[in-house]
Amino acid sequence: MKKKNIMIVDDEKDIVDLITYNLEREKFSVTKAYDGESALEMLKSIKTDLIILDLMLPSIRGFDVCRIVRNNPETQAIPIIMLTARGDYSDKIVGFEMGADDYIVKPFNVKELIARIRAVLKRTEVRPDQEKVSVLKYKDLKINFKTYEVNLGEKKINLTPKEFKILQFLVKNPGRVYSREQILYYIWGDDTFVEPRTVDAHICRLRDTIEKDINNPQYIFTIRSFGYKFADIESGTDLKEKNVAKRK
């Protein structure tokens, strides 16, 4: 099995060396970057499975690196763990809103960091059944899972990384109802500083974007006292059509 490559972006060499030593002991490969500009340049040519990102970096700040990674279709799916001395509540909220998959405050425990890396990789790993479908079309909604593009009719829809992940999760399990806690775990994990009501806020924004009438939704439905589900796509017809087309 090919080793997972972890990119460490931090200007403190001692911390980079400490994390590198322990990751290599756990059979990961490591790419090192000591500033944001170098990290972004490396991402153009090095396949990266996860980024450990400091926020207080020279040249380009960590938040800006995160934003650039998330806005690039070629890198936006790479999981990001923010590892920083900035532990304020507001910094954590900004980090998650910008698309971080986890947020760890320095000083940190190396074993905990590795456990969180494994948890994030496991949570974001694409399952074989997900790889079969690259495009889904249902009513006016079209989703390209390879390019992360969403269209409603002829209009291109712009979603945040978290909104896309929620839509992707619900769409690939049509008709199945998920609680806020289940969605929270799948998208953010159970070890991050996010409350269940955050799911409601993201669903609300997602509906405002893709539903023509939020009072009569076609795609995402609220199941009172439990959670949310995507419309029950009848027998997966659209999915099968795309699979057949791909094999030709």
Least trusted range by pLDDT, from 38-47, 70-79, 216-225:
70-79
Average pLDDT, the chain: 84
Q: State both tokens at 88.
A: 């304020």
Beta strands in the chain (DSSP E): 5-9, 29-33, 50-53, 80-84, 102-105, 135-138, 141-144, 149-152, 155-157, 178-179, 220-223, 227-230
CATH number belonging to the domain at 5-124, selected among 3.90.920.10, 3.40.50.2300, 3.40.50.1220, 3.40.190.10? 3.40.50.2300
Q: Hey, what CATH class is 129-247 in? A: mainly alpha
pLDDT, tens digit, 9 for 90 and up, residues 85-99: 887 878 888 888 777
Q: What is the mean pLDDT of residues 22-46?
A: 95
The dihedral through the CA atoms of 8, 148, 173, 224 has a sign that is positive
Res 243: pLDDT: 37
Is it true that 5-124 and 129-247 share their CATH fold? no
Residue 2 binned pLDDT confidence (cut-offs 50, 70, 90): confident
Residue 174 binned pLDDT confidence (cut-offs 50, 70, 90): confident
Res 222: pLDDT: 92
Res 133: pLDDT: 58
Q: State both tokens at 195.
A: 């409350």
Res 12: pLDDT: 94
Check pLDDT > 90 for residue 15. Answer: yes
Domain ranges of the chain: 5-124, 129-247
Least trusted range by pLDDT, from 3-12, 18-27, 28-37, 235-244:
235-244
Sheet with 178-179, edge to edge strand ranges: 178-179, 227-230, 220-223
Q: What is the mean pLDDT of residues 149-178?
A: 88
pLDDT, tens digit, 9 for 90 and up, residues 138-150: 899 999 988 889 9
Beta strands in 4-115 (DSSP E): 5-9, 29-33, 50-53, 80-84, 102-105
